[in-house]
Amino acid sequence: MATSLQSRVEAAAAQLIFGLPAPVRRLIAGRAIRLDGQELALDAQLLLRLQQISRVSMAAGTPEIARQRILDSGHLVSGTPIEPVHTREVVIPAEHGPLPATLYVPEGIPSPSPLLVFFHGGGWVVGSRASHDNAARYFAKQAGVRVLSVEYRLAPENPFPAAPEDAVTAFDYAHAKATDLDVDPDRIAVGGDSAGGNLAAVTAQVTTARGGAAPVFQLLLYPSVDASRRRRSREVFGRGFFLTDADMTWFADHYAPAGVDRTDPRLSPLLTEDFTGLPPAYVATAGFDPLRDEGEEYAAKLRAANVPVTLSRQRDLIHGYMNFLGVGKRFREAASEAAGALRLGLRA
């Protein structure tokens, strides 16, 4: 995707700032933030400071404006495209019409390979394959897997349950067309960040409950798993840490407007009655994230059902860290752990 001269200049400026000596970065970021027994990473605090200066918000105005804002600001933090990773466009047949997707293939990968069916974050309203391009590239290269990144339908044009329907359709397509995708059908995972983590969890539940083909691993990064009630982490971290309480309300109201039952497990997978038999999972949360507590409750319910699960709280990070690969090594450290978990979860 081509970027303007202004975008390239802004990205270079961000790189310059994050490359400054730690004392200078601390001066720009301000005094260390300590909250709830945790200290925010300098990289995360500096990013928040730059966000305040640029006045970039996750959700503001109309969905169209918010989508463009997220896409425009992504170049500042996502980094240059990770190579060598080859891509090709894929069209997934669906009842409502073709569902676009991109297949990422790291150079030198054996055939057939494991596959991650990846769902981007963005509150089911914003975000796209383009906004999460480098995240998909990162998992492809670092985990040594093919990645199928899915352009599921967004709200409010297509409210709940359009997104989970698309997610299940995408998994079923990947399994049915494994030979065409050069994929091992017995080593397909689902994963995503935030709203994408929600869709991955729902896909694992729906496919497991019906019997037959189901994912063998779940990669759930700071997932949203319960839209029915508020938790302490939302009260503590709901302002000033990238994803805000106002953002969450804005997203939920567009995705699940009045009349939608927010206890429906396809919207709130934490509330499903039976976790038995779900695939092993890596659940990552961020310490300074309003979604932290519900993600950790989800891991606890998996564990109570004897599902193998690794819960990893990135205590010093904020929501969205998988998209900040271009700035600050702390974000890449957390991403590296997730990639390692995916590689381990899909090993033969």
Catalytic positions: 194, 289, 319
Residue type present at position 288: F
Contacts 24+ apart (CB under 8 A), 16-23: 17/46, 17/50, 18/43, 18/46, 18/327, 18/328
**What per-residue string of b and e applies to 249-264 under the rule 16 or more CB within 10 Å gives b?**
ebbbebbbeeebeeeb
- Per DSSP, the chain holds a count of helices (H) and strands (E) of 12, 10
Give the Cα separation of 294 and 155 in Å (integer). 22
Look up residue 175 and give its two tokens: 């399994």
Unique residue bearing structure tokens 């990846």: 118
Give the Cα separation of 305 and 322 in Å (integer). 28
Query: To 5 degrees, how large is the angle CA 321–CA 317–CA 160?
Result: 50
Q: How, if at all, do strands 99-106 and 146-150 pair?
A: antiparallel
**Burial of 39 by CB count in 10 Å (0-12 exposed, 13-18 middle, 19+ buried)?**
middle
3-state SS track over 143-164: HCCEEEEECCCCCCCCCCCHHH
Neighbours of 103 (CB within 10 A): 21
Residues contacting residue 159 through CB under 8 Å, at least 6 positions apart? 254, 255, 256, 257, 260
What is the chain's alpha carbon radius of gyration, rounded to the nearest angstrom?
19
